[in-house]
């Protein structure tokens, strides 16, 4: 089954029309150790700014 990853950061290299992420892989980490309690405590390390 294909993944549907939405992204609203339109200055990311992997952003696609319709807010669809075009990256082959998504890497998300916790800002506070190995456990996050909410999405505010996470970061998307896949983000690469468009040049």
pLDDT of residue 2: 61
Q: Report the alpha-carbon distance of residue 25 to residue 27 in Å, rounded.
A: 7
Residues 1-51 pLDDT 10s: 567 899 999 999 999 999 999 999 999 999 989 999 999 999 999 999 998
In angstroms, what CA-CA distances link 44 with 1, 20, 27, 30?
23, 15, 6, 9
Cα-to-chain-centroid distance, residue 30: 13
The model carries a pTM of 0.79
Phi first, then psi, for residue 6 (nearest 5°) are -95, 145
């Amino acid at each position: 089954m294909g993944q549907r990853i939405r992204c609203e950061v339109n200055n990311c290299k992997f952003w696609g029309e319709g807010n669809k992420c075009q990256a082959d892989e998504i890497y998300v980490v916790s800002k506070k150790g190995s456990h996050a309690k909410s999405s505010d405590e996470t970061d998307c390390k896949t983000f690469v700014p468009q040049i």
